[in-house]
Structure 1
Amino acid sequence: MKRSERRSAARLAASQALYQMEIADKGLADILAEFEAHWIGREIEGDSYTPAELAFFRDVVSGVLRDQLPIDRGLDDALAKGWPLKRVEALMRAILRAAFYELRNRPDVPARVAVTEYVDVAAAFFGPEESGMINAVLDALARQTRPAEFAGGR
């Protein structure tokens, strides 16, 4: 399996783990252990979960928790006025947080790759309107966070 496929699976798992942490009030150690033991790379009720790059998964989940305050502030600033992050559906919040963490902290991942990957995660759970909103927010954040990658119309 290609590294890009393992990274895609890690992004999906990280978004789901962050969501589950929020709704079930689980801690970092518990959620990492649960996902690594029971979800990532397993078959559950006929659904196969692709093996993920575990170090990348751990980095995104733990990084979002470590940097959640500045991540949330940045997302609040990028969202439409009158629509703060706390009003966004929990899974959408998890996806936005994971993506913004990558944009802020993973220069080894091209901004366009991070945006596309998380829009794909959103499309797996939401319709085109919600995925489009996530795309717009992440594109604005990517251009703000990594302007050099977008200089000259590239």
Structure 2
Amino acid sequence: MAPAPRHDPARRRRIARLAAAQALYQIEVAGVGADAVLLEFLQHRLEEEIDEGLRLADMDRDLFSDLVKGVSSRKPGLDEMLTPLLAPDWTLGRLELLLRVILRAGAYELAHRSDVPPKVAISEYVELAHDFFGGREPALVNGVLDRLARLVRAEAFG
């Protein structure tokens, strides 16, 4: 199957989510603000290939910016939403940082982006987890985001 064209909206959103996960990870590790990381990505890294055949220049920049700013500014609230959805003996702090970033971004889309159908958001973040993890992490992302979607977007599930 031929790869999706560079202007394909779904492909552009996928690249934005992947880049946002990387930017949010960088914010956490480096302890810098969202605006500085956004500026770096949008001014200095657009020619980078972030995955095979996926270039930052091809991303949906509005979605990328919204995810980075939205997750960064709402992190405590997102963590509050996610924590009760984990197993009783787990906390977000016990999860690997990149997994926390993926869960927060997925939670942000579910709670604050009503333009994105919940099943699409869940699928996208499960796929993103597959990009980075080879174990049970994608199943964890699926389970947690599915439970969250049924709470914050119950109307979509009938």
| TM-score higher than 0.5 | yes
Partner of 1:82: 89
Which segments of structure 1 move beyond 4 Å, counting only runs of 4 or more? none
- 8 Å CA contact 1:7–1:56 kept in 2: the answer is yes
State the Cα distance separating 1:41 from its structure 2 match. Answer: 4.9
> In structure 2, do the counterparts of structure 1 residues 97 and 130 end up closer, same or farther at CA, with 3 Å as the change threshold?
same
State the Cα distance separating 1:128 from its structure 2 match. Answer: 4.0
Structure 1 segments unaligned to the other structure (5+ residues): none
Partner of 1:20: 26
Partner of 1:2: 8
State the Cα distance separating 1:64 from its structure 2 match. Answer: 0.8
> In structure 2, do the counterparts of structure 1 residues 2 and 24 end up closer, same or farther at CA, with 3 Å as the change threshold?
same
Kindly provide the amino acid, as one letter, of the partner of residue 58 in structure 1: S
Deviations 1:39-68 (A, max 9, x none): 345347x87525111111111110111211
Counterparts of 1:16 and 1:147, CA distance in 2: 30
State the Cα distance separating 1:102 from its structure 2 match. Answer: 0.4
- What TM-score do the two structures reach when normalised by structure 2? 0.89
Identity %: 44
Give runs of aligned pairs for residues 50-129 of structure 1, distance below 5 A. 50=56, 51-129=58-136
Kindly provide the amino acid, as one letter, of the partner of residue 8 in structure 1: R
Counterparts of 1:139 and 1:43, CA distance in 2: 30
Kindly provide the amino acid, as one letter, of the partner of residue 54 in structure 1: R
- What TM-score do the two structures reach when normalised by structure 1? 0.91
- 8 Å CA contact 1:40–1:52 kept in 2: the answer is no
Kindly provide the amino acid, as one letter, of the partner of residue 63 in structure 1: G
Deviations 1:122-141 (A, max 9, x none): 10000141111111111111
Aligned length: 151
- 8 Å CA contact 2:15–2:54 kept in 1: the answer is no
Partner of 2:156: 149
State the Cα distance separating 1:30 from its structure 2 match. Answer: 1.2
- 8 Å CA contact 1:7–1:52 kept in 2: the answer is yes
Structure 2 segments unaligned to the other structure (5+ residues): 1-6
- 8 Å CA contact 1:11–1:57 kept in 2: the answer is yes
SS at match of 2:116: coil
